[in-house]
């Protein structure tokens, strides 16, 4: 370590390079870190941004597997329907039952976080949903499919709020749009990178092989998670006896783990839950995000079938083309959420950057879907449904960031659990509705296009409502008038 005197710190040639007071014993490690790592990029609470994004990447990996589990039904829907003699309504009912249980399971996220902490809660969940679909391999029937998907949905329900809570523990409020988008983009990554592989596996070795592959991936992630996870400085450590501990061994010489603490986040008391849930931001956010999620659920459940049966592509082509809307959505979501965060750091209001901006995108996407039935060329139909869906996706992470502002850090998991559970009701209604419409329309793609048109109309209505009533800054001042302010930089 470089020697330090009362007058300053000696450089390599003995010259004094800084006038520093003599540090006390407890400050020596901190000072050495600052001297040896002068270019480390630190956040508002002193955390390493490299570590923050490393932890976020681990969460993204789990979410990719999670969304692959959601998407696999859409990929194997037609071979499964052929083997079991299922109608479109049966497939739609299975998808809706999954999202119903997803909604109910999400209500337990706050309790799991409190009882087990993020580390063990997520391990429990990933083991449960990795195993949930295996009974279908051993005994394939409609009842087994329905029950397995319901168990899977319930086990995945708490996952999203816990993952967002874990990510937000590493990112200050003004920075949460982009990490939230990266997490939400896990759905796109799953469909871009994983769906074609699952489609190939299902076509080559049968649909059961796809389920086995996903179960193995989930268990491998659990091992990675236990080895790497520690909670960030913006979490609720200290508020719960089950808070995740942060390792402080020799390998953790980073200022983020050794010295950083979030300024006053643990000092803020809890607020009554109903004060949060009855704000116009929460209510309007539920309407907006439920409509976006209804569209996402239909894409997960039905898009490969639409491409195959409605537009005439082969099964392998349809499974591979699953990635097209996700690829477009990935670009739009990352760029728009980066811009949203950037606007806030430049002084633009949270309402403009987090609400009006994505809601206008939803107006554009909804309009494109409304006109889908009037498009006859398959290539143009793929383009319209892909772009219309993709433009609506930034609503999901940006509204999560808005709602996280309404509550103290210790309540984020619980509030997001309720918010995302209510969001999932859109997924509960939409897949079954589409199945009924497709059955009623008979052969051809008219039923699929009509269902997308209805979803586009709903998106238009709720986007207008959201622009009118949602104002996160106003409602934050109502619910948390004494909330600490973390300056963006």
Residue 79: the pLDDT is: 87
Candidate from 181-190, 309-318, 363-372, 402-411 with smallest mean pLDDT: 181-190
Question: 4 — phi, psi (to 5°)?
Answer: -125, 135
Average pLDDT of span 341-345: 88
CA 149 to mean position of chain CA atoms: 20
Q: What distance in Å separates the CA atoms of residue 109 and residue 122, rounded to the nearest whole number?
A: 10
CA 91 to mean position of chain CA atoms: 25
Measured CA to CA in angstroms, residue 408 lies from 114, 399, 423, 463 at distances of 15, 16, 21, 27
- Write the Ramachandran bin of 272: left for phi over 0, alpha for psi from -120 to 50, otherwise beta: beta
Assess contact for 183 and 167: CB atoms under 8 A.
Answer: yes
Does pLDDT of 258 surpass 60? no
Assess contact for 488 and 345: CB atoms under 8 A.
Answer: yes
Q: What distance in Å separates the CA atoms of residue 431 and residue 297, rounded to the nearest whole number?
A: 7
Does pLDDT of 2 surpass 60? no
The confidence band for 463, taking pLDDT boundaries of 50, 70 and 90, is very high
**Other CB atoms within 10 A of residue 446 CB:** 15
**Residues above pLDDT 70, as percent of the chain:** 82
Residue 265: the pLDDT is: 43
The confidence band for 216, taking pLDDT boundaries of 50, 70 and 90, is very high
Residue 267: the pLDDT is: 58
Q: What distance in Å separates the CA atoms of residue 129 and residue 133, rounded to the nearest whole number?
A: 7
Residue 363: the pLDDT is: 96
Does pLDDT of 133 surpass 90? no
Beta-bridge partner residues of 317: none
The confidence band for 179, taking pLDDT boundaries of 50, 70 and 90, is confident
For the chain, the straight-line distance linking the first and the last C-alpha, in angstroms and rounded, comes to: 31
Beta-bridge partner residues of 15: none
Residue 311: the pLDDT is: 87
CA 311 to mean position of chain CA atoms: 30
Q: Give the CA radius of gyration of the chain.
A: 24
| Of 483 and 359, more confident | 359
Assess contact for 362 and 336: CB atoms under 8 A.
Answer: no
Residue 324: the pLDDT is: 87
Assess contact for 37 and 26: CB atoms under 8 A.
Answer: no
Average pLDDT of span 407-434: 85
Candidate from 266-270, 344-348, 408-412 with smallest mean pLDDT: 266-270
**Residues above pLDDT 90, as percent of the chain:** 28
Highest mean pLDDT among 236-240, 432-436, 485-489: 432-436
Residue 362: the pLDDT is: 95
Q: What secondary structure letter does DSSP report for 163?
A: H
Assess contact for 323 and 307: CB atoms under 8 A.
Answer: no
Does pLDDT of 242 surpass 50? no
Does pLDDT of 29 surpass 90? no
Helix, strand, coil content of the chain in percent (nearest 5): 75, 0, 25
Does pLDDT of 36 surpass 60? no
138: exposed, middle or buried (C-beta count within 10 Å: 0-12, 13-18, 19+)? exposed
Give the residue among 342, 438, 465, 451 at the shortest CA–CA distance from 398. 342
Residue 143: the pLDDT is: 92
Tens of pLDDT, residue by residue over 97-130, are 888 898 888 888 888 888 888 899 999 999 998 8
Q: What distance in Å separates the CA atoms of residue 84 and residue 372, rounded to the nearest whole number?
A: 31
Give the residue among 37, 53, 57 at the shortest CA–CA distance from 255. 37
Residues near 476 by beta carbon (within 8 Å), at least 6 away in sequence: 405, 406, 483
Give the residue among 123, 155, 113 at the shortest CA–CA distance from 58. 123
The confidence band for 45, taking pLDDT boundaries of 50, 70 and 90, is low
Assess contact for 333 and 185: CB atoms under 8 A.
Answer: yes
What value does the mean pLDDT of the chain take? 81
Residues near 254 by beta carbon (within 8 Å), at least 6 away in sequence: 33, 40, 48, 51
Average pLDDT of span 411-417: 83
The confidence band for 203, taking pLDDT boundaries of 50, 70 and 90, is confident
Tens of pLDDT, residue by residue over 374-397, are 988 899 999 999 999 999 988 988
Residues near 408 by beta carbon (within 8 Å), at least 6 away in sequence: 265, 268, 269, 270, 271, 480, 483
CA 390 to mean position of chain CA atoms: 15
Q: What distance in Å separates the CA atoms of residue 223 and residue 212, rounded to the nearest whole number?
A: 18
Give the residue among 73, 100, 103, 85 at the shortest CA–CA distance from 199. 73
Assess contact for 370 and 453: CB atoms under 8 A.
Answer: yes
Average pLDDT of span 355-372: 95
Beta-bridge partner residues of 9: 4
Question: Please, what's the b/e burial string for 385-398 (b: 16 or more CB within 10 A of its CB; e: otherwise)?
Answer: bbbbbbbbbbbbbb
Candidate from 248-252, 309-313, 440-444 with smallest mean pLDDT: 248-252
The confidence band for 11, taking pLDDT boundaries of 50, 70 and 90, is very low
């Amino acid at each position: 370590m470089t020697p330090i005197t009362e007058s300053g710190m000696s450089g390599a040639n003995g010259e004094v390079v800084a006038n520093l007071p003599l540090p006390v014993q407890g400050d020596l490690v901190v000072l050495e870190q600052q001297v040896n790592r002068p270019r480390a990029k630190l956040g508002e609470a002193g955390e390493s941004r490299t570590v923050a994004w490393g932890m976020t990447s681990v969460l993204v990996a789990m979410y990719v597997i999670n969304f692959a589990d959601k998407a696999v039904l859409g990929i194997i829907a037609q071979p499964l329907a052929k083997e079991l003699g299922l109608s479109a309504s049966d497939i739609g009912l299975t998808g809706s039952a999954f999202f119903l249980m997803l909604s109910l399971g999400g209500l337990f996220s706050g309790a799991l976080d409190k009882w087990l902490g993020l580390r063990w809660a997520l391990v429990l969940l990933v083991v449960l949903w990795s195993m949930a679909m295996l009974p279908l391999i051993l005994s394939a029937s409609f009842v087994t499919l329905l029950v397995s998907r319901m168990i899977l949905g319930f086990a995945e329900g708490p996952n999203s709020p816990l993952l967002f809570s874990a990510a937000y523990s590493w990112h200050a409020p003004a920075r949460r749009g982009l990490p939230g988008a990266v997490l939400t983009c896990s759905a796109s990554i799953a469909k871009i990178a994983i769906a074609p592989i699952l489609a190939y596996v299902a076509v080559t070795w049968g649909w059961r092989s796809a389920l086995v592959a996903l179960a193995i991936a989930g268990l491998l992630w659990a091992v990675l998670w236990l080895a790497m996870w520690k909670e960030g400085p913006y979490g609720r450590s200290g508020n719960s006896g089950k808070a995740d501990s942060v390792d402080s061994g020799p390998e953790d010489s980073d200022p983020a783990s050794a010295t950083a603490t979030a300024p006053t986040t643990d000092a803020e008391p809890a607020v009554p839950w109903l004060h949060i849930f009855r704000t116009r931001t929460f209510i309007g956010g539920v309407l907006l995000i439920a409509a976006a999620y209804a569209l996402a659920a239909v894409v997960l459940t039905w898009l490969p079938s639409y491409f195959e049966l409605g537009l005439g592509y082969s099964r392998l082509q349809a499974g591979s083309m699953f990635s097209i809307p996700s690829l477009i959505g990935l670009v739009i979501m990352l760029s728009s959420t980066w811009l949203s965060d950037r606007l806030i750091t430049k002084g633009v209001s949270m309402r403009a950057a987090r609400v009006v901006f994505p809601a206008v995108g939803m107006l554009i996407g909804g309009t494109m879907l409304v006109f889908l039935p009037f498009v006859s060329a398959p290539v143009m139909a793929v383009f319209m449904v892909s772009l219309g869906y993709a433009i609506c996706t930034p609503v999901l992470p940006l509204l999560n960031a808005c709602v996280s502002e309404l509550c103290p850090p210790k309540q984020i998991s619980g509030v997001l659990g309720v918010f995302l559970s209510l969001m999932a009701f859109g997924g509960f209604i939409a897949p079954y509705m589409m199945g009924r419409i497709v059955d009623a329309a008979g052969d051809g793609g008219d039923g699929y296009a009509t269902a997308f048109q209805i979803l586009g109309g709903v998106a238009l209505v709720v986007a207008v409502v959201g622009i009118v009533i949602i104002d996160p800054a106003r409602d934050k001042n109502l619910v948390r008038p004494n909330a600490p302010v973390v300056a963006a930089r």
